[in-house]
Every structure is written in structure tokens, then in C-alpha cells.
Structure 1
Amino acid sequence: MKNLLQQYKPFLLFLGKFLLTYVLLTVIYQSYLNRFDANKNEVDSFSQLVANQTISVLTLFDAEAYNQQHLTEPSIKIIYKGQYISRIIEGCNALSVIILFISFIIAFTGKFKRTIVFILFGSILIHILNIARIALLCMALYSFPEYEHILHGVVFPLVIYGIVFLLWVIWVNKFSLHATTTAKK
């Protein structure tokens, strides 16, 4: 048994760090969300920020766009070119994706300063790309509403998770302690 633990020690350490970080950040995020009453259709502040930033991006392209509180559910309506196109719910803010990203980075340990910088850079990049993703999705849904399922359910999640995966690959191969150990061999 001791031999097995020794053999799988790197994997078990990775898994332990990942799970501990993921659970801790998820509990913190959930306690933040609990401050908002879904029964009163309250939307969390970060999702409101995402909706506002999406509108800013849409109006950059000379499009008439605005948002408004949904009256019957905890979401924010996106009105694009006079048409109700989509809604922003808590799941659209990409914070759960950022939590997953951070958990992986911490689990694949790197030097402290590099880890913090990469987490900040990656989180900001994911946030910016998420705003662009939502804005592009609104534009695409306006022109091609019949493709909502494939656009919202396949293409755009593939983009955001693809970027996260690419960031993980860069982290593991360039900045983690694993990368520096492998480079020395």
C-alpha cells in the first residue's frame, strides 16, 4: 500500500490541491450568490456587470442595444436592435469557469509570483472573451435565431472551454513546476 501511495503521490497531490481549491472557491462563490434573493428575481452584481459590459461591446458596433431586469426570473434581458435576443443569468458570468481554471493552475503548482500573475491574466482574459462571446452570440442569434441550440449549446461553450484548455496547456508546459522539471531533463 505504501508503495502504491508513493507511486501515485504526484497525482494524489494534484487531485487534493485541485479539489481543495475548487471546493473552497465554490463555497466562497456560493456564499456570495446567497446574498441575492432569486425568489425576488435579484441578479448578482457580477452578472449585472457582465450584462452591462456586453451592452457596451454591442454598442461599439453601432448597434442599438440595452438591457433590462427580467420581471419574472432572476436574469437580465438583452435587447438588441429592438428585439429581445437573450438573457444573462448567473451561469453566463463565467465565474464558475474561472474557478475551474484557478483550481487547475493551483493544483499544477508553479512559482508563487508566476502563479498569481497567470491566474490574474487568465481570469481577466476569460472574462473579456466571455463578454465578446455573449456579444457575438447576441449578434448571431439576431441574424440566425434558428441556430440557437447549436450556437448557444455547442459553438460558444466550445470556444470558452477551448480557451481555458489552451491556457492550461500553456501553464503546464511553460510556467508550472512540472515544466521547469521537464525542461531540466
Structure 2
Amino acid sequence: MKKYLVQFKPFLIFIGTFFATYILLTLIYKSYLNHFESDDVDEITRIVGYNVDLLLHAFNSDVFIQKSVSNPWLEVWYNNDYVIRIVEGCNAVSVIILFISFVIAFSRKFKTTFLFILSGTLFIYILNIVRIALLAILLFRYPEKVHLFHGVLFPLMIYGVVFALWVFWVNKFSKYAK
């Protein structure tokens, strides 16, 4: 048994670090969410909605984003049509937690890890804002394609980018890079 523990030590350290980080960050995030009423929108999701609004207005779009009267989400109105809603799961926090957990599990130097997490998180956040804005435009024009855009292409895009960031991290900066 000891032979296998020694043989698989790097893998076990990775798994342990990944899950410990993931569970810790998820518990912190869930604790944050518990401070909001069940019919309210959390502040991170509000900021995401605000940034989507700014992005769409920068391209002179006729957009209006408001809190739903009776539900815990933001309504996105594009050209006077209700096209999408932004719920807590749309704020990319769970994707960012997954990203951070993986990077920490393969970390080497604190400064490099910290800077990569910071820049990667910012990149994922911006990509998510662009994703939501594009989704609003595309679903206004092609409402029948909701499954294709929301269920296939955009998750593929965001998770594909996260995967590419992970590959870049492991090959360039992690403790296994060379």
C-alpha cells in the first residue's frame, strides 16, 4: 500500500489540493449568497448585469436591464423585447472557482500563481460579459436557437477558454512545466 501512495503521491496531492481549494471557495461563495433574500439578486450578478448594459450601450444598442419584479434575476430587454434573464449562475463565479482550484493545485511560486489567477479571472469575467451580451443579441435575432447558443456554443466557448488557460498554465508556469 505504501508503494502505491509513494507512486501516486503527485496525483494525490493534486486531487487533495484541488478539492480542498474548490470546497473552501465554494463554501465562501455560498456563505456570501446566504446574505441575500431568496427573491433578491446578489451583488456580483448585479455588477455583471451592469457591465453587460455598459457593453451593449457602447455599441449603441437599445438595451434595458432591470431586476425582475417577483423573481431573483435580472431581465435583459433588447430593442424592447425581453430576450434573456441573468441569474446567479450566469455570473461566472462557479467557473472562476473551478479555474482557481485547478491553478492552485498545480501552483509553484506564489507571485506567478497569484498573477495568473488574477489575470485569468479578469479574462474569464470579461469573456462572460461578452458572452451574455452576444447571447442577448443572438437570441433577439434567432430566438428559436436558444438551445444551440445557450446550451452548446457559449458553454463550449467559456469552458474551452478555461481549458486552454489550464493547458497554458501547466505547460508554462506550473511545477510540472519543465
TM-score range, shorter chain: over 0.9
- 3-state SS of 2:176 partner: helix
Q: Deviations over 1:38-76 (max 9, x none)?
A: 1xx100000000001001111111111111111221000
Identity over aligned residues, as a percent?
53
- Written as runs of structure 1 = structure 2, the 5 A alignment for 1:148-167 is 148-167=146-165
Q: Deviations over 1:134-153 (max 9, x none)?
A: 00010000100010011000
1:90 and 2:124 aligned: no
Residue of structure 2 equivalent to 1:37:
37
Structure 1 stretch 23-32 or stretch 68-77: which is displaced more? Answer: 68-77
* RMSD between aligned residues: 0.6
Could you tell me which runs of 5 or more consecutive residues in structure 1 were left unpaired when the two chains were aligned: none
TM-score (norm 1): 0.95
- Give the 4+ runs in structure 1 shifted more than 3 A: none
- 3-state SS of 1:74 partner: coil
Could you tell me which runs of 5 or more consecutive residues in structure 2 were left unpaired when the two chains were aligned: none
Partners of 1:11 and 1:60 lie apart in 2 by 47
Residue of structure 1 equivalent to 2:9:
9
Partners of 1:54 and 1:75 lie apart in 2 by 14
2:124 to 99, 123, 126: 126
- Written as runs of structure 1 = structure 2, the 5 A alignment for 1:25-174 is 25-38=25-38, 41-174=39-172
TM-score (norm 2): 0.99
Q: Structure 2: which amino acid aligns with 1:88?
A: I
1:23 and 2:41 aligned: no
Partners of 2:172 and 2:148 lie apart in 1 by 34
Q: Deviations over 1:81-120 (max 9, x none)?
A: 1111100000000000000000000001221100000000
